[in-house]
Amino acid sequence: MVAQEAHGHGAPQGFIRKYVFSLDHKVIGIQYYFLALAAVFVGMFLSLLMRIHMIWPTAVLPLVGEIKPETYLSLLTMHGTIMVFFVLTTAPQSGFGNYFLPIQIGAPDMAFPVLNMLSFWTTFVAFIVMLAAFFVTGGAPLHGWTGYAPLSALPSAGPGEQLGADLWITSIAIFCIASLMGALNFITTTLDLRAKGMTLMRMPLTCWAWFITAILGLLAFGVLLSAGILLLLDRNLGTSFYVPLVVVNGQVLGHKGGSPLLWQHLFWFFGHPEVYIAILPGMGVASQLLSTFSRKPIFGYKAMVYAIMAIGILGFVVWGHHMFMSGMSPYSAFAFSIMTMCIGVPSAIKTFNWLGTLLHGRIRLHSPMLFAIGFVSLFVSGGLSGPFLAQPVLDIPLHDTYFVVGHFHLIMGVAAIFGIFAATYYWFPKMFGRMMNETLGKIHFFITLAGTYAIFMPMHYLGMAGQTRRYSQFTEVAYQAKLIPLQTFMTFAAFVTIAAQFIFVINLFWSMKKGPKAPDNPWEATTLEWTTATPPPHDNFGGHTPVVNHGPYEYSVPGATRDFILQTDPLTVHQK
């Protein structure tokens, strides 16, 4: 516990200092959130074009014209890259984490406010560089978000693989640096700035999630950065890290002796922790909301903490499960597969504990809670296809099919997004001082839940039937052409689901200006952000330092006068 340091700077004046280069973690959190919001609409638009092209490959669309097979692959590459980096690694961690980690631990700001501001603007620059890839000669790269070499290392291997690919790699490198800066800040803040009484085991599970996620980022992004540098060297300086002797378009290229598998090892060593970075904050939010809206402590707080840690640690030793078919040693494959099955265990523990939290509660079904419940459902659905893929022998028919696409979309593309929605509906009153519209929230929830299941559940059927992924159309392979009706259904489900997201956006922006004014603690929650003003003042707690006397989820404590105890409430008969 640390003496509350005098907050280093007073509230800034002037538009630029207040809203552009703000050092206030709350403003920076909102900046990240809006960056992610812009990115998700770009990503969603790309996926809309993809789904249209799959069903009507020869259609000429307004504005975009005809989508050629290579364009489809560029859309696919940029969709994946933008969604994974600029949405799923940004909104849950840098967006909500930045805003609420300091407040939930009772700190006046992040440990390094200037670094925080720089990390946002660096992320912003990375996003601009990424978008620039669309506009250069050759367009955006077509090698998938996974960027396997040699396809990604050879400018002549396809359209978009020239400057577009260099910009893609550069953007990711810049993003790595921004993420490392952010991770450093989150870790130092959590370790050093907790208020008196806020022991690690009294931190809300959201803080644990942000903390462990930051550690994962710290260890993983450096490896991605290295991989990207090696790729840039192969592409531009003629080195052969990843490229063996190859012949492209009849030309023998000057590379020799490189290993395509090296890229895969480096990429997935980062890539697997990355998917846990995408989901852990959502799990933290789900735990927080399930407890709050059931009016019950989270079932098994300690187990939840250990589960997050176990997921984090194990996340670093399973990367080979992306490479079972790659030509990697089958003995390594066996080892990776055992570790992968192990990582299913802490995930299962969390699911049991979420169900245990609901049991015997008094559940209030407001919008944030609906999305938290949806998160649990989607996590179960997406998670259970994991044990199929984790077994190498079952991965043989399923690898690189729609089964995998369905698996990761249910978890990252929907469950993690539901985590972001849940956090938005939950914390909107605190951030903007107004309530979002409940009716619109419920409509948004039901359509999105049904819609995303309608899009992504059928992908498992397609995968079992052998539908390979990253195909721009299905007309060339007879058994795949038979599956087009199911793909058509999914495209129409996508139309409806994408349309429903506009309900959310309208609700978001309209409520910011016109929503009913929010009380300081509309959900009757216990954690520190609900003890302070709405929106919080510049130093979060209005000049005094919180002192914490209780755990984070003291709901319905027997003998208490009301059904929740704020973490800062004075000590009573009950103390946890």
Q: Which of residues 418-437 bind another protein (CB under 8 A)?
A: none
When asked if residue 390 is in the footprint of another protein (CB under 8 A), the reply is yes
Task: Using CB under 8 A, pick the residue from 269, 418, 428, 530 that binds another protein.
Answer: 269
When asked if residue 486 is in the footprint of another protein (CB under 8 A), the reply is yes
Between vectors from CA 389 to CA 388 and to CA 394, what angle results, nearest 5°?
Answer: 70
Sorted by sequence, the CB contacts under 8 Å of residue 556 that are 6+ apart come out as 295, 296, 362, 563, 564
- What are the b/e assignments for 492-509, b being 16+ CB within 10 Å? ebbeebbebbebbeebbe
Q: Which stretch binds another protein (CB under 8 A): 37-45, 369-377, 417-425, 427-435?
A: 369-377
Nearest-angstrom CA–CA distance, 442 and 285: 18
Q: Could you tell me how far CA 486 lies from the centroid of its own chain?
A: 28
Task: Say which amino acid occupies 151.
Answer: L
Task: Using CB under 8 A, pick the residue from 370, 416, 420, 500 that binds another protein.
Answer: 370
Q: Which is nearer to another protein, 8 or 519 (CB)?
A: 8
When asked if residue 442 is in the footprint of another protein (CB under 8 A), the reply is yes
Site for another protein in 317-346 (CB under 8 A): 325-327, 330-331, 333-334, 337-338, 341-342, 344-345
When asked if residue 187 is in the footprint of another protein (CB under 8 A), the reply is yes
Task: Using CB under 8 A, pick the residue from 21, 45, 461, 489 that binds another protein.
Answer: 461
Nearest-angstrom CA–CA distance, 342 and 307: 12
Q: Which stretch binds another protein (CB under 8 A): 93-101, 126-134, 516-524, 556-564?
A: 556-564
Q: What's the min distance (Å) between Cβ of 41 and another protein? A: 25
Site for another protein in 206-265 (CB under 8 A): 218-223, 225-227, 229-230, 233, 237-241, 243-250, 252, 256-262, 265
CB 349 within 8 A of CB 307: yes
Tokens of 206: 């959201």
Tokens of 528: 């520190």
Q: Which is nearer to another protein, 431 or 528 (CB)?
A: 528
Task: Using CB under 8 A, pick the residue from 361, 429, 515, 536 that binds another protein.
Answer: 361
Task: Say which amino acid occupies 521.
Answer: N
When asked if residue 18 is in the footprint of another protein (CB under 8 A), the reply is no
Residues 394-423, one symbol each (x = binds another protein by CB under 8 A, - = not), give x-xx-xxx----------------------
Backbone angles phi, psi at 82, to 5 degrees: -65, -45
Q: What is the CA radius of gyration of the chain?
A: 24
Q: What's the min distance (Å) between Cβ of 509 and another protein? A: 25
Residues 464-469: contacts with CB under 8 Å, at least 24 apart: 464/397, 464/398, 464/401, 464/403, 466/397, 466/401, 467/401, 467/402, 468/400, 468/401, 468/402, 469/400, 469/401, 469/402, 469/404, 469/405
Task: Using CB under 8 A, pick the residue from 86, 474, 504, 523 that binds another protein.
Answer: 474
Residues 53-92, one symbol each (x = binds another protein by CB under 8 A, - = not), give ---------------xxx--x-------------------
Q: Which is nearer to another protein, 446 or 509 (CB)?
A: 446
Nearest-angstrom CA–CA distance, 413 and 80: 10
CB 108 within 8 A of CB 4: yes
When asked if residue 193 is in the footprint of another protein (CB under 8 A), the reply is yes
Tokens of 471: 């195909």
Q: What's the min distance (Å) between Cβ of 380 and another protein? A: 5
Residues in the chain: 576
Site for another protein in 140-169 (CB under 8 A): 142-144, 148, 150-151, 154, 157-159
From the number of C-beta atoms within 10 Å of its C-beta (0-12, 13-18, 19+), residue 356 rates as: middle
Q: What's the min distance (Å) between Cβ of 514 and another protein? A: 25
When asked if residue 305 is in the footprint of another protein (CB under 8 A), the reply is no
Task: Using CB under 8 A, pick the residue from 52, 163, 196, 433 that binds another protein.
Answer: 196
Q: What's the min distance (Å) between Cβ of 510 and another protein? A: 23
Nearest-angstrom CA–CA distance, 137 and 127: 19
Q: Which is nearer to another protein, 147 or 432 (CB)?
A: 147
* Per-residue 3-state assignment (H helix, E strand, C coil) for 452-494: HHHHHCHHHHHHHCCCECCCCCCCCCHHHHCCHHHHHHHHHHH
Q: Which is nearer to another protein, 11 or 128 (CB)?
A: 11
From the number of C-beta atoms within 10 Å of its C-beta (0-12, 13-18, 19+), residue 10 rates as: exposed
Task: Using CB under 8 A, pick the residue from 351, 424, 448, 487 that binds another protein.
Answer: 351
Q: Which is nearer to another protein, 356 or 522 (CB)?
A: 356
CB 309 within 8 A of CB 356: no
Backbone angles phi, psi at 40, to 5 degrees: -70, -30
Q: What's the min distance (Å) between Cβ of 115 and another protein? A: 8
Q: Which is nearer to another protein, 37 or 405 (CB)?
A: 405
Site for another protein in 521-540 (CB under 8 A): 539
When asked if residue 4 is in the footprint of another protein (CB under 8 A), the reply is yes
Site for another protein in 489-518 (CB under 8 A): none
Greatest Cα-to-Cα distance within the chain, rounded to the nearest angstrom: 81
